[in-house]
Amino acid sequence: MLAKEMSSSWDEVVAVSSAPFFRGRLPLPPGVNQSYQVVRAAGRKGARGRIGPSAALEMFKAEAALVLADGDATHQDWSLINAIRGSKRHVSLVVHVAFFFPTLWKRDVDGGIKAVVDAAFARMELNDNLVVRLTAEKFVDADDPRCEVTVSCVVGR
């Protein structure tokens, strides 16, 4: 496929996403450096470590699950989510994540994306490999630091 064909196809995908069927407001996740740690296998001499979730990441996931289960804090179209889950075809999804930090320059915009996407897709019981487009941005809100996530379907793909 030529680059020109690829970009025009991508422009079509970007232009035709539906209204969000999932909206959630979450606490800020830990940054990527605070999210993972080296975990060593117990009882094995010379065992190598692997990367695993930190206590901060596990705490965020637990808190996110509680927040996303609260119907007042989120919007979830369960008829559509269940249809996507039950579909034999892959449904292309678009995710948008907005971070509201106390200051603009202390945190990277990309550091918490995985934790937020994982929390949203765990709530919907969907595989995040359905995501074909992911956008993230950051804003300042010193009074109410948070993260907002929306998920939409790509129409016509």
Which tokens sit at 154?
């790509």
Output the pLDDT for position 12.
44
Output the pLDDT for position 32.
74
Pairing assessment for the beta strands 146-153 and 22-26 based on DSSP bridges: antiparallel
Residue 121 exposure: Cα atoms within 13 Å on the Cβ side = 19
Output the pLDDT for position 43.
61
Residue-wise DSSP of 51-80:
EEE-HHHHHHHHHHHHHHH-TTTEEE-HHH
Identity of the amino acid at 75? H
Higher pLDDT, 35 or 144: 144
CATH number of the 16-153 domain: 3.30.1330.70
Output the pLDDT for position 2.
33
Residue 127 DSSP class? -
Please state, for a pLDDT cut of 90, what percent of the chain lies above it.
56
Higher pLDDT, 132 or 72: 132
CA 140, 144, 147, 148 dihedral sign is negative
Mean predicted confidence (pLDDT) in 135-152? 96
The answer, yes or no, to whether residue 58 has pLDDT greater than 70, is yes
Output the pLDDT for position 44.
61
Rounded Cα distance, 23 and 120, in Å: 9
CB 13 within 8 A of CB 92: yes
Domain residue spans of the chain: 16-153
Mean predicted confidence (pLDDT) in 17-32? 89
